[in-house]
């Protein structure tokens, strides 16, 4: 077991050169850039598919509502008096000028 008071047990201090670690930082930065860019691209490409279900649902609700309105208008037109039905089916006459 090395002595705790021995100054040579871990070696002498050495200066840190930035150029040696620069390659590692560039490599880590490029990996980070690829991961973040890929995540953004994936989220952008997946978003329309995720949201299309909501759009389809809204469109189906709108179509159902339109069908209800059409049925209501059709049922109201069947209950109209015969004079009102003929007034609706009679074409308008142009105004003589």
Residues 19-47 pLDDT 10s: 777 888 889 999 999 999 999 998 888 77
In this prediction the pTM is 0.35
What percentage of residues in the chain have a pLDDT greater than 90? 25
Under the banding of pLDDT at 50, 70 and 90, the label for residue 90 is low
Report yes or no on 47 lying in a domain: yes
Report yes or no on 63 lying in a domain: yes
Spell out the alpha helix ranges (H) of 1-97: 18-78, 82-89
Whether 10 shows a pLDDT value over 80: the answer reads no
Domain count, the chain: 1
Report yes or no on 91 lying in a domain: no
Under the banding of pLDDT at 50, 70 and 90, the label for residue 69 is very high
Between CA 24 and CA 5 the distance in angstroms is 35
For residue 54, the enclosing domain spans: 40-75
1 compared with 51, residue with greater pLDDT: 51
Report yes or no on 2 lying in a domain: no
């Amino acid at each position: 077991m090395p002595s705790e008071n021995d100054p040579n047990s871990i070696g002498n201090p050495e200066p840190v050169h930035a150029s040696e670690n620069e390659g590692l930082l560039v490599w880590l930065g490029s990996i980070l850039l690829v991961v973040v860019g890929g995540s953004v691209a994936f989220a952008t490409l997946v978003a329309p598919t995720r949201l299309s279900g909501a759009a389809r649902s809204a469109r189906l609700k709108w179509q159902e509502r339109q069908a209800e309105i059409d049925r209501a208008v059709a049922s109201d037109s069947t209950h109209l008096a015969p004079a009102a039905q003929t007034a609706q089916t009679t074409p308008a006459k142009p105004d003589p000028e």
